[in-house]
Amino acid sequence: MGWLDRVETARKTRDVQNNAQGTLEQTARAAVAGLLLAAPALMCFRGLASCAVDPDVGWQLQSGLWILQHHALPHSDPFSWTEAGRPWQDYSWLFDLILLKLYTWFNLKGLVLYTASMAVAITWAVYRLISRVQPDFIQSGILTVAALLCVARDFTPRPWLFTILLFAIELDVLLRFRRGGRAGILLWLPPIFAIWANLHIQFVDGLLMLGVAASEPLLARWARWGPSSQNARPLWVTFAACAAAPLLNPYGFGIYRDAWIMGSQTGVLNTVGEMHALAFRSPGDYLLLFLALGAAAVLFRRDCPAPFEVLLLAISAILSFRSQRDAWILAIVAVALIAEKLRPPIEDTDRTPAWAVFPMLAVTSAVFAIGFFGLQVTNARLRAFQAKELPVQAVEAVKQQNDPGPLFNDYNWGGYLIWRLGRPVTIDGRAGLYGDSSIARSMETWGGHPGWATDPQLLAARLVIGPVRAPLVQLLRLDARFRLVYEDRVAAVFVRSAPREQGALQGAAITAERPQEPSGGRNGRNRYGKAPR
């Protein structure tokens, strides 16, 4: 063998070693990425209570059951006696059916599986959004984790998880087009919006983002603000198609009417806890603020940022700081802009190969399964969580005694009572149906504010179920119009007294009905002295 042959052999050996080392590094990177994707699932398995005690799930399960039973979609409210017959559209009907099927197959575990699976999908979408422009694996991972920590508050079995996922995918498509991608990539958006509009009403947030992107060339010319090399025609055509796609739903243009009602309903921002502004009492709130400041810093480090980027960040900040439930918007937009502006000037060719997806998915699936069974995600544990927060035993007591209605309940428990009690309620979590005034009146009555005794819905009720610590419950103990018939650590149940009983002493009437042993035991007592199962 000549010296040229020896050199060639050494070169081939070195190439094989480099390839083997590169394959090993890519496999290790894929495994770490798989762990990253599985992390939100483990968070859901650890925080089972948030999946089990969400009361709004109840009315959505009942709506899915109503659709299957009637082979149609509701056009008027079938779940409350206060709004019976009033026009109502179940704009998340497709989600309701999906959730009902999961509940039918897995019982309460189906709620956890839905939440955990969607959390993994959201993390994957955000990671792909970032890694397309940021080749550094560590930086991509850090930004993904930062966004995940801000979005984690929304990991509950609600339809908005579909909105978060589809919003991240839409932003990825728009940014790829803005970086010089072909207009054909925009063809993905109309089908996405057609599905999105049947899952959750917040498809309008994605439509708003697309409208901002389409308006950028006009803003650049009209206000002489920033450079814009974007072709407006494909964006406006896509915007028109995406605005028409939501009409492919059973309610037609009515979906936009519901979106307008929900968007203009400002009263819930002050009355519904999940709609309150960020209180900055948790690390995630401050992390979101730092991400917003970081995105602004990388945008304005040059003289004239693009109008789309500035407007997108500003609108996202307004929506997210206005309501903590929408903090995910700013989190996703901020990490996307930071990754976009910090990408290296020279394109890195060391990209993750296509084959690395398989070990990544294998690790994610393995960790998902280990976490699900190792952390004991069982229906028994989930029911135990429900019994600590929801009127589980009170509902069983009411079913056994078949106490008459109408039922008076608070806002938070309405959805659960629709599903478990199976009778019309006073109010539930469908804020768009009841309106600001009804929600505010319910909150004031249950808070024991002046005028509670003249609430027309309370006056019409024959059965009251409420949290045992609610001020109204304490007031009803002294009200001769109602008798306490059941109480445990979570809930109290009152029925309207017979006319002849209302003349009795108020305090004596309640004392006679209350059990002699300390109330609030683990197993409450009904009026016949029997502990509900």
DSSP string of 436-451, one letter each residue: HHHHHHHHHHHTT-TT
pLDDT higher than 90, residue 120: yes
- What is the structure's pLDDT at 20? 52
Q: Which H, E and C letters describe 326-339, residue by residue?
A: HHHHHHHHHHHHHH
- What is the structure's pLDDT at 472? 96
Cα–Cα distance measured from residue 239 to residue 243, given in angstroms and rounded to the nearest whole number: 6
- What is the structure's pLDDT at 256? 92
Cα–Cα distance measured from residue 53 to residue 108, given in angstroms and rounded to the nearest whole number: 10
Cα–Cα distance measured from residue 102 to residue 159, given in angstroms and rounded to the nearest whole number: 14
Over range 508-516, report the average pLDDT.
38
* Domains of the chain, residue spans: 89-352, 391-526
pLDDT in tens, 65-74: 999 999 999 9
Over range 401-407, report the average pLDDT.
79
Q: Are 284 and 153 in contact (CB under 8 A)?
A: yes
Q: Out of 294-303, 355-364, 410-419, 502-511, which region has the weakest mean confidence (pLDDT)?
A: 502-511
Over range 129-148, report the average pLDDT.
90
318: amino acid identity, one letter: I
- What is the structure's pLDDT at 468? 95
- What is the structure's pLDDT at 511? 39
Over range 275-287, report the average pLDDT.
87
- What is the structure's pLDDT at 513? 38
pLDDT higher than 70, residue 9: no
Order across the sheet with 491-496: list the strands: 407-409, 463-467, 491-496, 482-487, 525-526
Q: How far is CA 304 from CA 206, 218, 307, in A?
A: 25, 16, 9
| DSSP state for residue 301 in the 8-state scheme | T
**Which H or E run includes 238?**
helix 232-244
- What is the structure's pLDDT at 57? 93
- What is the structure's pLDDT at 459? 93
- What is the structure's pLDDT at 279? 86
Which residue in the block uniquely carries the two structure tokens 């290296």? Answer: 344
For the chain, the average pLDDT equals 84
Question: pLDDT above 70 covers what percent of the chain?
Answer: 85
Over range 264-276, report the average pLDDT.
76
pLDDT band at 461 (very low <50, low <70, confident <90, very high): very high
Q: What is the Cα 512 distance to its own chain's centre?
A: 45
For the chain, how are helix, strand and coil distributed in percent, rounded to 5? 65, 5, 30
Q: What is the Cα 212 distance to its own chain's centre?
A: 24
Which stretch, 194-203, 342-351, 511-520, has highest mean pLDDT? Answer: 194-203
Q: Which candidate, 482, 444, 448, 441, places its Cα nearest to that of 465?
A: 482
Q: Which candidate, 185, 179, 160, places its Cα nearest to that of 323?
A: 160
Question: Which stretches within 390-522 are classed as H helix?
Answer: 392-401, 414-420, 431-446, 456-460, 471-476, 506-513
188: amino acid identity, one letter: W
DSSP 238-287: HHHHHHHGGGSSTTTTHHHHHHHHHHH--THHHHSGGGSPP---SHHHHH
User: Which residue has better confidence, 419 or 17?
Assistant: 419
Q: Out of 85-94, 179-188, 448-457, which region has the weakest mean confidence (pLDDT)?
A: 179-188
pLDDT higher than 60, residue 533: no
| DSSP state for residue 515 in the 8-state scheme | -
Over range 7-26, report the average pLDDT.
58
pLDDT band at 55 (very low <50, low <70, confident <90, very high): confident
pLDDT higher than 80, residue 372: yes
Q: 3-state DSSP call for residue 375? A: coil
pLDDT higher than 80, residue 441: yes
pLDDT higher than 50, residue 514: no
pLDDT higher than 90, residue 51: no
**Which H or E run includes 220?**
helix 203-222
Residue 95 burial class via C-beta count within 10 angstroms: exposed 0-12, middle 13-18, buried 19 and up: buried
- What is the structure's pLDDT at 520? 40
pLDDT higher than 60, residue 118: yes
- What is the structure's pLDDT at 515? 41
Over range 371-386, report the average pLDDT.
91
pLDDT higher than 80, residue 228: no
Q: Are 150 and 327 in contact (CB under 8 A)?
A: yes
- What is the structure's pLDDT at 48? 81
Cα–Cα distance measured from residue 112 to residue 157, given in angstroms and rounded to the nearest whole number: 7
